[in-house]
Amino acid sequence: MELIHHGTTVTRRAWTRYVAAAAAKEDISIVRVPGAFEIPSQARTLAQSGKYDAIVTLGCLIRGETTHYEHISTEVTRGIGQSAQENRRAAHLRRTNL
């Protein structure tokens, strides 16, 4: 894994806020996945590794003219919650509709 100082605006802002809140830069890892649907499985893998005190997930879904958005957002939300329960870690999820 690599520490990424650039990327999307959301990622940059989140990274900046964690550093401002006294997180050490070297203690933050950013892991990218191909799409939102892969977020829960990667979060679960990271949590099970025991290397992290917290797992924060960021993703973006764009609502189109089909129901694809609803299906993916429902499964991602369910998967993150299930992972949090299985690994006894808190999960924070914030949805932003685009």
Residues with a catalytic annotation lie at: 68
User: Residue 95 contacts by C-beta under 8 Å, 6 or more apart in sequence?
Assistant: 73, 77
The residue written with tokens 């993150």 in the block is: 80
Owner of token pair 């924070």: 92
